Structure 1
Amino acid sequence: MRHFHLGHHHCRTARGEHEDGLSGGRGHRGGRGGGRVFGHGGLRFVLLQLIADKPSHGYELIKAIEDRLGGSYAPSPGVVYPTLTLLEEMGYLSVETADGSGRKSYSITDSGREFLAANREMADAMMARMSGGVDGAGPRGGRPPQVTRAIENLKLAMRMRLTGAPLTEQQAHEFAAVLDAAAQQIEKI
């Protein structure tokens, strides 16, 4: 694993990516490349701005970024969550865990607002970049963005459920039935 220095914090991920979402190629969710989407440290500014606008869960932040980029890119949970943890450790975010669900909701702190204000030009540039798609080129591929979003939403929901508690026999049958029904519905379109 490689180590990266960010201010006074060192972070690493299992795939050797920067904690801010840079992998330099096809390491993005779904394999839809585009190289560097945000530039060095840009994901931090995007996450802080999105959370300043509305406290959110990690999954909501991933979806917000993907939606703003027209489905052409979505940062992986393996990049977003370490970045959120870094921002929390730096004192820029506070976290509340929802009762029962274990989902963390992130809110910006006063220090986070000050950091964002001190870096307003960078934050605005990163947010503007998302409005134009990856590298300003707009959505890629022939797939409509709403279909890409729905596919990624389904994949993430399945992954989250399957990595949780093991399915009972009944749940496994229900899970398969939902997927089979969706496949049948899609074939009719």
Structure 2
Amino acid sequence: MRDFKRFLHGTQRGEHGDGLSGGREHHAGPRGPRGGRGGGRVFGHGGLRFVLLQLIADKPSHGYELIKVIEERLGGRYSPSPGIVYPTLTLLEELGYVSVDTADGGGRKRYTVTDGGKDFLAANRETTDEMMARMDGGVDGAGPRAGRPPQVIRAIENLKLAMRMRLAREPLTEQQAHEFAAVLDSAAQQLERI
């Protein structure tokens, strides 16, 4: 229980920091990698933990891949440092939310979400979705989606949430899979006509 509380709320001193509570972070702004502009608190205290766990749940990844995904989704304006990401991944592993595989021969760790991690994400869906939406919104609202109307961003997030919730339940039957794909194909076709 103590580890769970530490994971959820972080610690007073930013132990196992996530780049948002006194730890070092990389900001790629006009003043260089640690420039004054282009930085800022993206996820809030402890939020990077939810983001990393969700990204791993979406696709098992190496630590550097996770850093690159976050950087790309924030339009290159923020990149969490390895010194922040790897201790957070270690904490996720210690809590039993991810497992580590080094079978690729290069000694690199590949992180995969566990059933415990999936349960944690499901129990904290609102917080996780909020952290993912912050990442999609960019640093200080200046990410790649900053020019999108808020109602469009809301609708995108609603669709993603609905898909995740349905796919987290029992597996789709063959018929349900066809219907699921048909709904998405139909929406895509309608959007192309706008």
Q: Check whether TM > 0.5.
A: yes
Q: Partner of 2:180 in structure 1? A: none
Q: Partner of 1:31 in structure 2? A: 34
Paired AA for residue 7 in structure 1:
K
Aligned counterparts, 1:157-168, within 5 A: none
Q: Deviations over 1:86-127 (max 9, x none)?
A: 000000000001343110000000000010011101110111
SS at match of 1:31: coil
SS at match of 1:95: strand
Paired AA for residue 74 in structure 1:
S
Q: Partner of 1:81 in structure 2? A: 86
Q: Partner of 1:127 in structure 2? A: 132
Structure 1 residue runs without a partner (length 5+): 140-189
**Which whole-Å CA distance do the structure 1 matches of 2:104 and 2:16 have between them?**
31
Q: Partner of 1:97 in structure 2? A: 102
Say if 2:68 is the partner of 1:71: no
Paired AA for residue 68 in structure 2:
K
Q: Partner of 1:21 in structure 2? A: 19
Does the aligned pair in 2 maintain the 1:23–1:35 contact within 8 Å? no
CA, structure 1 residues 74+17, in 2 after alignment: closer, same or farther (shift >3 Å)?
farther
Q: Partner of 2:114 in structure 1? A: 109
What is the identity percentage for the equivalent residue pairs of Structure 1 and Structure 2? 75
TM-score by length of 2: 0.61
Alpha-carbon RMSD: 2.7
Following TM superposition, by how much is the alpha carbon of 1:28 offset from its aligned partner in structure 2, in angstroms? 1.9
Structure 2 residue runs without a partner (length 5+): 27-32, 145-194
Aligned residues: 132
Q: Larger % of strand: which?
A: 1
Following TM superposition, by how much is the alpha carbon of 1:17 offset from its aligned partner in structure 2, in angstroms? 6.6
**Which whole-Å CA distance do the structure 2 matches of 1:116 and 1:58 have between them?**
19
